[in-house]
Amino acid sequence: MNNFRSIDELILALSREKTLLKEMFAKRKTLSFRSDFAEQLVDFKLDRIRYLVDYGVIRDNGNFLELEDVYLKFFEEVLEVNEEINVESVKSNIDHLNETIEYYLQETDEGQKYGYLREVRRSLKNVALNTKRNVIDLKRNVDNTYKNEPNYKIKKSKLKHLDEKRDGIKLQIREAERVLDEQTTFFAMAMDSDLRIVVDDVRADLNESSHNLIEIEKQIIEYLNLIDYQSQILKKIRLIKYFRDQQVLETNTDIKNRIQNMNPVWMEPNSGYRIKVSLNFLRNADEGLAILREVRERKALKGVGKKKLAEPLTVDDLSVDSALQQMVDQTEMKNSFAASSSDLFRFVMNYKYPYDIDLEGKLVLFCEIASQFYDELDFTDRYEDAFGYEYPLIYPR
């Protein structure tokens, strides 16, 4: 098999055969893609198909063609349509992260240490990105399995396997958070502004993925319960059909009494049938003339009671008076505090705010952050005094 010698050569080959690759990717779920159809897409120039085969883009199986797995997975991951949930990718990224941190701590050359630091930042981003992709793929597969799988047993088995993969993703998230919490020596030595931003983003992405996994777990449980409920109904329907076929439905069940006590049409709307009156009746009969006079009187009364329209809005009425209210992003403050080593009170008092805030406003922010992010903070039993106030010592967890 030949290899592409540059990015330009690879992009040129994919661009030249984009029509063929697009059709093959669209029909990747089918069992076969015929070679004669592929020849039509390349204007019967067989050397172009042979070129893709020689360079490992497609695979030749006699009269059929297939996309190679490396390109198929690449297209699926980029377009976010892949069905395979790769939990091992997150695990490999975490292992690589631990190895790179170990190399950084053992390295003495500053240039090499900076290279390891860049690799750590890249690994952290990959952990968060692969975790989010797995969560998205898991959610899509759960919905597709429940809505599109016709076999109840297979549907239930697939949902259980997807739930096992959800547990795997959850364990990898905990492992990634453990690395961020326990590698204190590395983060104390290597923490800079860029790494702090990456760590805060990774923590936020992992937290979001954890919440999404909780919702997916609830959805899986609901789907499994619905499958059991639908299976029970199906069993009952089959049993009723069997009794009916055996002419023992009324003797083996109480269906007759149940049907007599039911009124299934009580919620249906009342049917109204409009009957058009003949013109001869309206013109010649006294009852018809009375109806016409009544209709005319009703029309006249509706005309008397019409409301006058309001005056049109002026330019002054359409003008909007806007007021600018300055606010502090508490989530951003919490993320910055998570990367600091001071207690919450000192952090709030010494934080660089985008505008001037008095002591009372900082005290309010201290209380709001402590209550809003209670689960993410470590409340100690120690207290200190400052500015005439006694406050507890609170640290990031």
> Do residues 115 and 188 both lie within one domain?
yes
CATH number, residue 36:
1.10.10
Domain hosting 118: range is 87-237
Instruction: Give per-residue pLDDT as tens, 62-102.
Output: 788 888 888 888 888 788 777 677 788 888 889 999 999 99
> Do residues 232 and 363 both lie within one domain?
no
Q: Is residue 293 part of a domain?
A: no
85 vs 336: CA distance, rounded Å: 33
Number of domains in the chain: 3
> Do residues 117 and 226 both lie within one domain?
yes
Q: Is residue 177 part of a domain?
A: yes
Decide if pLDDT at 285 tops 90: no
Q: Is residue 315 part of a domain?
A: no
161 band by pLDDT with thresholds 50, 70 and 90: very high
> Do residues 124 and 212 both lie within one domain?
yes
> Do residues 25 and 166 both lie within one domain?
no
- N-term to C-term CA, the chain: 53
271 vs 275: CA distance, rounded Å: 13
Last residue of a domain, one of 180, 208, 237: 237
> Do residues 211 and 167 both lie within one domain?
yes
Instruction: Give per-residue pLDDT as tens, 248-284.
Output: 888 888 888 887 777 766 666 766 666 677 777 777 7
Nearest to 3 by CA among 62, 69, 40, 54: 54
φ, ψ for residue 265, nearest 5 deg: -105, 10
Instruction: Give per-residue pLDDT as tens, 179-218.
Output: 988 888 888 888 888 888 989 999 999 999 999 999 999 9
> Do residues 160 and 219 both lie within one domain?
yes
Decide if pLDDT at 306 tops 70: no
> Do residues 72 and 104 both lie within one domain?
no
Question: What was the pLDDT predicted at 215?
Answer: 92
Last residue of a domain, one of 195, 221, 237: 237
Q: Is residue 217 part of a domain?
A: yes
Last residue of a domain, one of 210, 237, 264: 237
Q: Is residue 323 part of a domain?
A: no
> Do residues 50 and 101 both lie within one domain?
no
46 band by pLDDT with thresholds 50, 70 and 90: confident
Decide if pLDDT at 19 tops 80: yes
Question: What was the pLDDT predicted at 271?
Answer: 67
> Do residues 225 and 146 both lie within one domain?
yes
Q: Is residue 353 part of a domain?
A: yes
Question: What was the pLDDT predicted at 327?
Answer: 78
CATH number, residue 112:
1.20.58
Question: What was the pLDDT predicted at 357?
Answer: 85
Q: Is residue 313 part of a domain?
A: no
Decide if pLDDT at 339 tops 90: no
Decide if pLDDT at 360 tops 90: no
Of the segments 16-30, 90-104, 304-318, which one has the largest average pLDDT value?
90-104
202 vs 298: CA distance, rounded Å: 71
> Do residues 47 and 131 both lie within one domain?
no
Q: Is residue 34 part of a domain?
A: yes
